[in-house]
Amino acid sequence: MKTIIFDSSTIISLATNDLLWILKDLKKYFDGRFVIPESVKIELVDNPFNSKYYKLEAIMINNYINKGYLEVYKAIDVENLLDISNKICYADDKNLVILHKAEIEALALASKINADAYSVDERTMRLMIENPFRLRKLLERKLERKISINKENLKKFESMTVKIPIIRSTELALIAYEKGLFKDLINDNVKEKDLVEALLWGLKMRGCSISDKEIEEIGRSEL
């Protein structure tokens, strides 16, 4: 069955922009399932539910889980992959612990079930999968010291994780726009250009890792 695995970051971007509803319609076009691992559900629902901050978003996300638009996959053992992932980048002789268990669990699940895509708005995990040497460049610039890559562990990481396409909430919103899910919002005062810009900037402002340059490029190609 076709599957997209979601990291908590994509769901947070959608929820805080009141865009969770697009998942319901996109699921029909996808003709498959949208899945979050157990640890992501804990981050999205269980933890914020017990605090006054973002309790409402937790309740809304839980509603989408209860209705089956998001499926929760039982916890899988990721200790080995987590250990390897956090022993790839080194500052001097010290390994940099850069990833969290929930992020690794989503990636491990995507690999395990051979998912069609992994949706992640968070930047570090995306860099680790798509271009770890770019991540090294970032770490070197910010930490102002040489960062070495343990190639053996990087190889192990790559062999344990599939080369999976990565998408973000911004791509999901654009697909929803292209499918006409926002057509009610277009009127004499709100042009398509306004809507696309509003979607991309709204998601960026709530934490989706997309640059202003990327937004400009997408805007030019979409309109």
- 76-95 residues in contact with other proteins (CB under 8 A) are 89, 91, 94
- List the structure tokens of 105: 């669990």
Span of 45-53, 66-74, 152-160, 183-191 interacting with other proteins by CB under 8 A? 45-53
Closest by alpha carbon to 113, among 3, 19, 207? 3
The reply on whether position 49 binds other proteins by CB under 8 A is: no
Q: Binding other proteins by CB under 8 A: which of 20, 117, 196, 199?
A: 117
Span of 63-71, 113-121, 155-163, 186-194 interacting with other proteins by CB under 8 A? 113-121
Q: Binding other proteins by CB under 8 A: which of 141, 146, 191, 193?
A: 141
Look-up: residue for tokens 């990291």?
A: 7
The reply on whether position 53 binds other proteins by CB under 8 A is: yes
The reply on whether position 193 binds other proteins by CB under 8 A is: no
Of the pair 137, 155, the CB lying nearest other proteins is at 137
CA–CA distance, 105 with 79 (Å, rounded to integer): 9
The reply on whether position 207 binds other proteins by CB under 8 A is: yes
Q: Binding other proteins by CB under 8 A: which of 63, 80, 97, 183?
A: 97
Evaluate whether 106 touches 40 at the Cβ level (below 8 Å).
Answer: yes
Q: Which helix (H) or strand (E) holds 73?
A: strand 71-73
Q: What is the CA radius of gyration of the chain?
A: 18
CA–CA distance, 162 with 7 (Å, rounded to integer): 16
φ and ψ of 90, to 5 deg: -125, 135
Name the minimum Å distance from CB 94 to other proteins: 6
Span of 47-55, 62-70, 71-79, 182-190 interacting with other proteins by CB under 8 A? 47-55
Name the minimum Å distance from CB 189 to other proteins: 26
The reply on whether position 166 binds other proteins by CB under 8 A is: yes
**SS3 for 221?**
helix
CA dihedral sign, ordered 102, 29, 170, 189: negative
**SS3 for 156?**
helix
Look-up: residue for tokens 């949208």?
A: 34
The reply on whether position 21 binds other proteins by CB under 8 A is: no
Name the minimum Å distance from CB 152 to other proteins: 21
Q: Binding other proteins by CB under 8 A: which of 62, 72, 83, 100?
A: 100
